[in-house]
Chain A
Amino acid sequence: DSGVTQTPKHLITATGQRVTLRCSPRSGDLSVYWYQQSLDQGLQFLIQYYNGEERAKGNILERFSAQQFPDLHSELNLSSLELGDSALYFCASSVEGSGVNEQYFGPGTRLTVT
Chain B
Amino acid sequence: AQSVTQPDIHITVSEGASLELRCNYSYGATPYLFWYVQSPGQGLQLLLKYFSGDTLVQGIKGFEAEFKRSQSSFNLRKPSVHWSDAAEYFCAVGAPGNTPLVFGKGTRLSVIA
Contact between B44 and A99, CB atoms less than 8 A apart? no
Q: A residues within 8 Å of B by Cβ?
A: 2, 4, 31, 33, 35, 42-43, 45, 48, 50, 55-56, 58, 90, 92, 94-96, 99-108
Going nearest first, the 7 A-B pairs with the smallest beta carbon separation are A43-B103, A45-B100, A105-B44, A107-B43, A105-B43, A31-B98, A42-B105
Q: B residues within 8 Å of A by Cβ?
A: 32, 34, 36, 42-46, 49, 51, 90, 94-106
Query: CA of A45 to CA of B46 in the docked complex: distance in angstroms?
Result: 17
For residue B94, which residue of chain A has the nearest CB? A101
How many inter-chain contacts with C-beta < 8 Å in the A-B complex?
59
For residue A57, which residue of chain B has the nearest CB? B100
A8 to chain B, nearest CB (A): 14
For residue B96, which residue of chain A has the nearest CB? A99
Partner of B46, one of A42, A43, A102: A102
Query: CA of A113 to CA of B104 in the docked complex: distance in angstroms?
Result: 26
Query: CA of A94 to CA of B51 in the docked complex: distance in angstroms?
Result: 15
